[in-house]
A and B are shown apart, each in its own frame.
Chain A
Amino acid sequence: MERLTSLEKFHELQSTVRAERPEDRPQVIISAGTCGQARGANGVYDAFRDALAERNLSEKVELKRTGCHGYCEVEPNALVLPQGVFYAHLEPKNIAEIVDETIVNGRVVEKYVVANADGSEHFALAQELPFYRRQQRNLLTLNTLIEPTKIEDYLALDGYAAFAKALSSMSRPEVIEEMKRSGLRGRGGGGFPTGMKWEFCYKEQADLKYVVCNADEGDPGAYMDRSLLEGNPHVVIEGMLIGAYAVGAQHGYIYVRDEYPIAVRHLQIAIEQARELGLLGESILGTDFSFELQMSRGAGAFVCGEETALLHSIESKRGMPRQRPPFPAQSGLWGKPTNINNVETWANVPLIVNKGADWFAAQGTEQSKGSKIFALVGKIRNTGLVEVPMGITLRELVYDVGGGIPNDKQIKAVQTGGPSGGCIPAHLLDLPVDFDALREAGSIMGSGGMVVMDEATCMVDVAKYFLEFLEGESCGKCTPCRMGTPLMLEIVERICDGHGTPEDLDTLESLAKTIKNCSLCGLGQTSPNPVLSTLRYFRDEYEAHVYDKVCPACLCQNLIRYEIDQDTCISCDRCRKACPVEAITGELKQHNYYIHNHLCIRCGACEEQCPVSAISRLPGYDPPADGAEAKKQSPSHSTAVGSAGGEQ
């Protein structure tokens, strides 16, 4: 494509690509982010391509492979436009029927659309789906419509128009003022007002300034940044261009997680396309504004999500945080003023410039404006990425959008904010989701991961999981975090193993407070959150581990035993074969199967293989002396929790 040398040329190109893409044109759009591709989206794409070609429809129907549409649970899925029919759980063999019925005859094939839990209601149109109905998809809608490797797709949907508008008709302070008025706060976890951050950097006098996009999405359980970069990399680039113009930066970096290969590839393609069109480089659109952008790949360190560590990593040093101030706005990359924002924050910028600060500020709550993308995962029916207005309650998110908890289980908690966050218990589900309410409840919004946990989840085990994570990710620079997280882990491990003492709980609390108050960076300061929030809301579970040596969720391996219910057992021998340590004895059809607890390593293989759910986990690990004695025990004195079938 030809390099755009003026605003007029940009508008000409925009009209051309728009005219080539009438809104009501027939399209088939395949959701093909990393997870979609893992579930077979590429095979579905090929099947559509072949079926359309066989019917001579390749010219008439546009077939697209886009980023994630969010509804990951029902992938691979496809959206048929202009009708808006949403087909789920597709297989290549179904495609010919869909092409014949929906594209040729205009009819819906009901068996491939999403139904409600009991199958009584079918939802043909995307906008009718309960999963989408409550959402406010300001950003994710673009993911659905844009082929990420085609800049023309983005240009046709107002792409780079916000940048052109800012560059041609807004002064730098005006852009910053617009950001401030919109109320946009950092989507990476901190929640710092974006406009204010830009202003700090703008006011610094320097020969060179940088803007940086933090795409080091390290929070386990969050993947919205990956999805945005895979599905719509240009919106992030455009946001950065506007930010660079506003603060007066000449150079930018996108620091992206190397674990996201598709995101890295799409981003690279997008940067090259923008450069070719002259949207990056010298004298952009014939003005005196020049901006160069490059990608810097992370190398696998969670702490690099912290801004000063991230900057060190771009400088090719070890990613260790440093004391602030000076803040990056004063002294950042190579000592120059630097403005850092997260992927989702940058992606919101073009929308705000295009539609206005008032439009944005009208959404959400008093202190938390706009929409936010959350990753709804764990024990929930509709897993996926959802974009909702700030202030929606956790209950609405879990039940209305997420469809509730599967397998007739009860919800226990929602973990928000990754390793820096905490667990919100079920009785606080009516809490509005915004920056401040979550912080008051002892958690944080973080980058937007929400892991739903049901009654089969042990909260002490969750705390142990995060401590293991944080111990491994502590950079080692400051003592409270380097020494404190392993100490906390040691105590929690002891509790999970059934060796905890009442004093351990007090030590844990005081350690947690010390680490919170004394650590250098955000990682250390928030590392006790998983422990503090679980101690606050689930102290009874800790106490059960400590005093009764019981794991109420029947998960901690040292505190459980497996038993076969003789009445349910069909003597099929599967469990004995599955056992890796020969802890099960019995003979086919003899109804004498028995698990020898002193040999059992509690790997769960038998429970998983049992076709009739006769094997259950029971609280308390007290291996009886021999098998004969065990048989006499009545199983009714202990409560069985979680059978294999429903678990996995």
Chain B
Amino acid sequence: MDLKRIDEIINQHTDTHDGAYPPVIPILQDIQSEYRWLPEPALVHTAKRLRVPLVDLYGIATFYQSFRLTPPGEHQINLCMGTACHVEGAPLILGKLERKLGIKAGEVTEDGKFGLDEVRCVGCCALAPVMVVDEDYHSLKGKKDVGKIIDEKRKSDEKVSN
């Protein structure tokens, strides 16, 4: 793991920050944007650099839902579990996705291709039920085959690798 990159991220924040407590959350957010999750060596190094107990970093990383302590799937599927999505049948869709991928929410497929998460409202309630695949928002209103979106992703990946 390249700890130099972690140092760069930390320096960007500590140089400009004048608060009493080190800006832990923005630093962890930037580490996560770089690696898509928070690898243990990165957390250990950050704790040392900031002179913050590792347990405090762990506390923050587990308190806030956006932090991941395990790697996500190559494609991350976030199924919205907001009220409007719930009323429009999100729980049934979750079951479909779990069966399609052979994993439970919160897990990643064995080949590492797809990760599935339930997420709190993504704020696209008018499109409910909503699924976000990587950065793309999909309205599943009236769509019977949610598996198709996954199949298409898989297909386009295969095309790229060929």
Contact = CB atoms under 8 A, between A and B. Distances in A.
Mutual binders A and B? yes
Interface of A: 34-35, 37-39, 72-73, 75, 217-223, 226, 257-261, 296-302, 313, 315-319, 334, 375, 377-379, 383-384, 415, 418, 449, 451, 453, 457, 462, 465-466, 469, 475, 580, 601, 603-605, 608-609, 647-648
B112 interface: no
Interface in B116-133: 119-128, 130
Interface residues of B, number: 50
A412 to B, nearest CB: 11
B141 to A, nearest CB: 7
Contact of B125 (A218, A377, A475, A580): A377
A318 B63 contact: yes
Contacts of A318: 59-60, 63-64
Contacts of B20: 315, 334
Closest 6 CB pairs of A and B: A72-B126, A299-B64, A38-B137, A220-B82, A300-B65, A220-B121
A636 to B, nearest CB: 27
19 contacts: A35-B126, A257-B123, A258-B66, A299-B29, A299-B67, A302-B120, A316-B25, A318-B60, A319-B63, A334-B20, A378-B125, A383-B125, A451-B84, A451-B87, A457-B87, A465-B86, A604-B92, A647-B89, A648-B144
Contacts of B28: 299
A34 B23 contact: no
Contacts of B23: 316
Contact of A603 (B60, B81, B83, B95): B95
B84 A377 contact: yes
A458 to B, nearest CB: 10
Given A315-B20, A378-B125, A648-B142, 9 more contacts: A34-B122, A38-B137, A220-B82, A299-B28, A318-B59, A334-B20, A449-B83, A465-B86, A648-B143
A608 B123 CA distance: 26
Interface in B18-59: 19-26, 28-29, 59
Given A220-B81, A608-B144, A648-B141, A297 B29 contact: yes
B96 interface: yes
A73 B125 CA distance: 10
A217 B28 CA distance: 21
Nearest to B126: A72
Contacts of A580: 99
B107 interface: no
A544 B25 CA distance: 48
Nearest to B65: A300
Contacts of A38: 124, 127, 130, 136-139
A403 to B, nearest CB: 13
A221 B82 contact: yes
A315 B123 contact: no
A173 B52 CA distance: 43
Given A220-B120, A299-B67, A605-B96, A35 B127 contact: yes
B139 A316 contact: no
Contact of B83 (A221, A261, A298, A319): A221
A220 B65 contact: no
A38 B122 CA distance: 12
Interface string B62-98: 0111110000000000000111111111001001100
A543 B104 CA distance: 33
Nearest to A302: B120
Nearest to B25: A316
B124 A35 contact: yes
A75 B137 CA distance: 14
A465 B96 CA distance: 19
Contact of B89 (A218, A223, A297, A648): A648
Nearest to A647: B89
Interface in B141-158: 141-144
A469 B29 CA distance: 24
Contacts of B124: 34-35, 38, 223
B125 to A, nearest CB: 4
Contacts of A35: 124, 126-127, 137
A349 to B, nearest CB: 23
